[in-house]
Structure 1
Amino acid sequence: MHKIEDLKIWRKSILLTKSVYGLLAELSSDEKYGLISQVKRSSISIPSNIAEGAGRNSNKEFKHFLSIANGSSYELQTQLILLIELNLIHKEKIQPVIDSCIEIQKMNYSFQQKL
């Protein structure tokens, strides 16, 4: 078992989720139950799955949940790109969040290799 507060990838994914929520606050409430809801779920899924894996009894189980978190990060990245493509938020505002998402993907891959 790992202490989640000590995991850099978990802390960065929490910051990513906070950044996503900040971006979404700017969107029209028309999207509240559509894309906004899906983006929030994807972003929350990343630190949640890292935490769940950290609480498991083996590194094999932890890797499984890191894999799920990684899938959620790619889902989030796609949704953020859709926000740009749908002209809902300017690319300049989203790009730093996408960059953070990609950084977490790289960290996740590296962390899985070390376990």
Structure 2
Amino acid sequence: MQGFRSLHVWHKAHEFVLSAYRVTAVFPREEQFALTTQIRRAATSIPANVAEGCGRGSDADFARFLQMAIGSANEVEYHLLLARDLNFISRSEHQSLSRQLIEVRRMLISLTQTLRTASFEPRATSYSKPLARS
């Protein structure tokens, strides 16, 4: 299995984390251990799960970690919506982050589907060849 740093989805997810850290840096101080931490934790979980899953031994394991990354993307999507509604981030910041997140989630879903399809394709084996008719 290839290293996680060679995956385009990991790079996009990492860029999203950096953006999330930038916007949460100016959240109100009283949110430091609440919404700020929740957004950062959920955002960081996305590329972290990609990296961890990439190091697993099978496509099925990797797909399972990608599913967790998708779950974290859904979680952070809600937290960003809440931050926008509380006026911690502007509508334009929210739109920018949402665009990044949607792109990452689409890539995760696509990679998950590819891995699951590959897991169910029959493997070529000597006993899978049709028998010669006499």
TM-score range, shorter chain: over 0.9
Q: What's the secondary structure of 1:42's corresponding residue?
A: helix
Q: What's the secondary structure of 1:76's corresponding residue?
A: helix
Partner Cα distance (2:6, 2:89) in 1: 33
Partner Cα distance (1:101, 1:111) in 2: 15
1:77 counterpart = 2:77: yes
Deviation beyond 3 Å, 4+ runs, structure 1: none
Give the CA deviation at 1:27: 1.2
Q: Provide the residue aligned with 1:32 in structure 2.
A: 32
1:89-104 matches, within 5 Å, as 89-104=89-104
Q: Provide the residue aligned with 1:86 in structure 2.
A: 86
Q: Which structure 1 segments of 5+ residues have no match? A: none
Partner Cα distance (2:88, 2:16) in 1: 19
Which of the pair has more CA radius of gyration? 2
Partner Cα distance (1:114, 1:70) in 2: 15
Paired AA for residue 106 in structure 1:
R
Q: What's the secondary structure of 1:40's corresponding residue?
A: helix
Q: How many equivalent pairs are there?
A: 115
Residues 73-106 of structure 1, C-alpha deviations (whole Å, 9 max, x = no match): 0101110011011121111122111111011111
Q: Which structure 2 segments of 5+ residues have no match? A: 116-134
Give the CA deviation at 1:29: 1.3
Q: Is the 8 A contact 1:4 1:51 kept in 2?
A: yes
Select the structure that is richer in helix: 1
Partner Cα distance (2:4, 2:65) in 1: 13
Q: Is the 8 A contact 1:9 1:108 kept in 2?
A: yes
RMSD: 0.8
Partner Cα distance (2:24, 2:71) in 1: 21
Partner Cα distance (1:51, 1:111) in 2: 13
Partner Cα distance (1:87, 1:19) in 2: 17
Q: Provide the residue aligned with 1:113 in structure 2.
A: 113
Give the CA deviation at 1:2: 2.2
